Amino acid sequence: MLHKLLQPYQQYGNLHYGEGVTELAHALQAAHLAQEAGENESMIAAALLHDYGHLIHGLGENVAEWGVNANHEMVGANALEKWFPTCVTEPIRWHVEAKRYLCSTEMGYFDNLSPASVLSLQLQGGAMNPEELEEFSTLPFTKEAIRLRRYDDQSKSPSANPPDLLTYYPVLKSLLVK
């Protein structure tokens, strides 16, 4: 089952998405950061899988450069629901909204986004308005989505050397919905 789940990383993990790292390197860095921060297994899995939608949406690399919002967060969360509980999928579902939220609520957050993240932010709706802020703050797993967002933002280093994908098999296996 894990082989099928992780097949997109084998097929498309070498692709770039507008950042200086591949999809796989980005995922591994995010998972490693979550693990180093002492997160539980569901957050480590969410960090590893947060951009799964980029691998399976079928639109190719750098779609934001074409002006396309692939809704990768929803595509990924929806696909992963058959394998994982909501404690994994919901932070993934809301990690883009967390970026929008942080742009609205945290001074300087926008200024530290990568150019690719700024471009995708425009396609994703920009900073949240007051009504969106209120709605987001009432959703389950928003705190986890915000933490996931920070791991996402920090995992774009071409020189990082995180553990490989096999390292996370036990974490993923322990969370699989039976």
CA distance 24 to 10: 9
Question: Where do the domains of the chain lie, and which CATH numbers do they carry?
Answer: 21-154+168-175 (1.10.3210.10)
Provide the phi-psi class of 57: left if phi over 0, else alpha when psi is between -120 and 50, else beta.
Answer: alpha
Largest CA distance in the chain: 43
The answer to pTM > 0.85 is yes
Short-list 102, 86, 106, CA closest to 152: 102
Whole-number pLDDT of residue 66: 60
Angle of the 23-36 helix axis to the 2-12 helix axis, nearest 10: 120
Whole-number pLDDT of residue 45: 98
Whole-number pLDDT of residue 131: 97
Whole-number pLDDT of residue 44: 98
Q: Which residues of the chain have pLDDT under 70?
A: 17-18, 58-71, 178
Short-list 63, 167, 41, CA closest to 124: 63
Whole-number pLDDT of residue 120: 85
